[in-house]
A and B are shown apart, each in its own frame.
Chain A
């Protein structure tokens, strides 16, 4: 699902590069604080592990094989920030050395797989990992990480103007579903084996989390990724507002700025809301 250069329209790859850069920097800083000092060797070697792991074939019947993609597994063992850094490093090596994915499209691939995919893979485990729903949560994490990455990639291609009929989109979604189930199954199997041989490698999720928050978070990630596919063509309230205020977006520069502005606005709103909620809770 690595998008090459030349596939995405300019507003799409510019906005995604601009969104990926600070997020990747943030993940890098958090990962650095994570374990002890200078754990770059650990993350590098785990990235090499994912590369090698993608070569191990899992028999899935009828003479076919599948393989692990790895985002969810990394998140459940190294933590989401470190997992994002490892996935970003993997994507960079794949783009530069193996030409698997474009250089300008690296931002898009990072958002799809290293950020959204890792987050979607980690959330179910962090909410239900300490309960008796541990195995299903691991499966869900693996499946969601693949599903979210693939759907985001598909949406970006659709928005960039690749003509795919509804039937083709549905067929792609079915294929994504199959590989999602496969990833979930492989992730569960590997996690269980890992817990038997080296239990301290697996993270213990917090037990104090409210499941409602987890469900909301998962729903948000799903909505953001799947929603683009079902977005309606009719102008919505925001577009009408911009039309009335005369600052209508036209041309790719203003579209990109509008997209980026939207992201910054929502991020800022969430930040303020979270601070208020924290202050309210501690008061």
Chain B
């Protein structure tokens, strides 16, 4: 699964998501079937099943609020469908993300027509996300060491402005860091896009995977709707 072409995985993911999102009847059977399908995919990809299923549960807090809303509004079935659909979609996305390195995924998206400038920004964002986040944490620790604490009962405007100042400093630092990165990359011959060592090739095994992985959700949906009627 890790070696399949990202374009095949993206196509299969989209088919799965669309089949799930447009499903209206037979949801109970469909979600059971999809859950088994995803679990099988996780096992085949040799990913830790429980960990991934737990990680996907991050969508649940937001969803449960709406489950409650639907229950109060008199439509509990919709609430359940919201929870199930969002959870299963999250697991599917996790499956693809965990088996595809981000640069390869972005290249797959680029061949699907997504503007390459946007994907370039995404790549830089991902690369520097943890760097800037760590810098923000350092600033937070430094401020705490000087006695600042965000959770105060009497929040004077001084504390507010201090936090704003910290943010402004982080902004300026990030901006100048970005300029340095830009200069460094230019001096290494960066022309605005990343080059790959081996071009992605769509092999027959990728086509087989794409067809099977797309057909499975469709078949499950037909079966579920037939079972429900």
Contacts and interface: CB of A to CB of B under 8 A. Distances in A.
Interface string A1-25: 0101111101001000000000011
Interface in A58-105: 58-65, 68, 73, 77, 85-86, 88-90, 92-93, 95-100, 102-104
Interface residues of A, number: 78
Contact of A52 (B73, B85, B135, B186): B135
Contacts of B97: 96-97
B17 A104 contact: yes
B115 interface: yes
B202 interface: no
A137 to B, nearest CB: 17
B104 interface: no
Interface residues of B, number: 86
A103 B17 contact: yes
Interface in A224-260: none
Contact of B69 (A13, A43, A53, A163): A163
B143 to A, nearest CB: 9
B29 to A, nearest CB: 17
Given A61-B153, A104-B21, A96 B124 contact: no
Interface in B77-92: 78, 81-82, 84-86, 88-90
B21 A57 contact: no
Contacts of A103: 13-14, 17, 89, 93
B40 to A, nearest CB: 20
A162 interface: yes
Given A44-B128, A49-B170, A98 B163 contact: no
A89 B123 CA distance: 9
B121 interface: yes
Contacts of B161: 189, 193
A198 B97 CA distance: 39
B169 A197 contact: yes
Interface of A: 2, 4-8, 10, 13, 24-25, 28-29, 31-32, 37-49, 51-53, 55-65, 68, 73, 77, 85-86, 88-90, 92-93, 95-100, 102-104, 157, 161-165, 168, 185-186, 189-190, 192-194, 196-198, 201
